[in-house]
Structure 1
């Protein structure tokens, strides 16, 4: 069985490879799909602009702004001067989010009291704004956890990712995409092979060969 199946596979691959259209079907669509789905259609948000209204000007407030400036997801950090600028900045779509840091933020952090930071999102871009919200919240949480008043800093759990240590989105999706695209390409190639046999009038010869119907389907 395996010898017959291997011979049929080799015969079909040679027939497809000799046909220019067959080569195009095998190579071009899978490569395009792999590039588009892995690198173009991602759930990452990059190179977006945000605005910051920092009324605190204390150490913790400056560290939060510095964290935003060091994040690769943000392109430009627009500094606002008053609360009245927030609505106009969001309505004009200059930014996707505005971070409002209150006047007593650093003082409350140093005193060990709860301190609030307001994040205003552009709801017209619901998916992107929620992802940006998670980025901003993570930076704010990291700075707030590092800010302490005397004594040793709080212990934190250090997470190390063995697979994909940089958490690149493409490496999460590539393995599954390769398997899915290979499956779809195999189905297309099978349909093309059957159509070619019908077109050339050799399908009946294939049926009277020693191959079983299941082997032909495989």
Structure 2
């Protein structure tokens, strides 16, 4: 059996509230994924977005020994565009539009792994897929949508999900920046990547 290895680049973010306390989004992800497709769809920037898959990852014994208590979940999100692409069979041919039926879309996806213990999210995204801001906006809107579905929503008492994703720095990239002398100005703002800081803090779970 041939084993194929491929490097995959992940961006890393920490889920926090406005006070930089960790926010556990697992309950929201799980509840969103359990809805019907039409219920878990949200319009962002005029494009339909939805979560398509959610599952807990099974970790091997070696990983668990190295990282006791580690729990990871995987979820997949899709941005659905209904505008056509220009296609051609050969370089000399004229471009033609790709016609889509009324119920067909161009699916551009994003893959995410969430560390429930440290509230860290690893995302692998395609060029036209959802951005981290889009993921955040989707979850905020789904939080409100679920409250309406569950009939617990009251516009006078409802509190919007307090969520943001702060990037975790890549130490190798920062090292390269520090050694460079070919820049005029740079400003960096990152999440606190120290796992020790999570001890004693209550993990927020909205569900």
TM above 0.5: no
Q: Which has the higher contact order (CA 8 A, sep 6+)?
A: 2
Considering fraction of residues, name the structure with more strand.
2
Considering fraction of residues, name the structure with more helix.
1
Q: Which has the larger radius of gyration?
A: 1
TM interval, shorter chain, is under 0.3
